[in-house]
Amino acid sequence: MAGPVDLPRTLGIIQRGSGDPAFRVDPGVWRGGAAGSPGAGAWACFRMWSPQSSRELGQVLLRLDQLDVSRVRARLWCAGVEASSEELATAALERVPALLGAEDEGWEDFDLLLDALGDDQSTALARIRRRHPGVRLPATGQLLDQLVTVTLEQKVTHDQARHAGVSCCAGMESARPDRRRTGCGCR
């Protein structure tokens, strides 16, 4: 990945509150900016689907750790349903750069537009962009999951949504790796 990445600020927008059972961002020291946030990390739990069909490949538990300003380590544990664990691991690891916003394009044009506009909001936004060059736009590849979650959040109360989300993920408890062992299925 070229350039700085600020893991907590990039992935923090995906986490749906502090009780989100499927996504958790550990902020590290929150230095951010050009220094990134070494020590920061994130846990993500999601299902992988075949891009060619609607079959589920399996479940993935992904751990991302920011090592320095531009390096992020990815480790994962997976349980294949329709695919072998190796196929599932390969597909999940191929998705990591997009999740970290490596496919962002057009920021130079955006910065030029902000400078050309010159109004107060554009100037303030340009300053923020320069101050936090590691903030990127993540792509989860989980559009349907996000749409369902957002729709449910608008149709039910907060407490009902929280209970339903925790209940859905509770069924995955048996698939979770044993936390006492180290390196359990991680790559």
**Distance of alpha carbon 64 from alpha carbon 162, whole angstroms:** 25
CA dihedral 157, 61, 84, 139 (to 10 degrees): 70
CA 13/CA 182 separation, integer angstroms: 29
Q: Domain map of the chain by residue range? A: 7-175
Residue 76, pLDDT score: 92
CB 92 within 8 A of CB 122: no
Provide the pLDDT for residue 19: 79
Contacts of 178 (CB under 8 A, 6+ apart): 184
Q: Please give the pLDDT value at position 182.
A: 38
User: Splitting the chain (187 residues) into consecutive groups of 10 residues, what average pLDDT does each group show?
Assistant: 82 84 79 64 87 81 90 89 82 91 80 88 87 85 80 76 73 51 39
**What pLDDT does residue 130 have?**
83
Q: What's the first-to-final CA gap in the chain, in angstroms?
A: 19
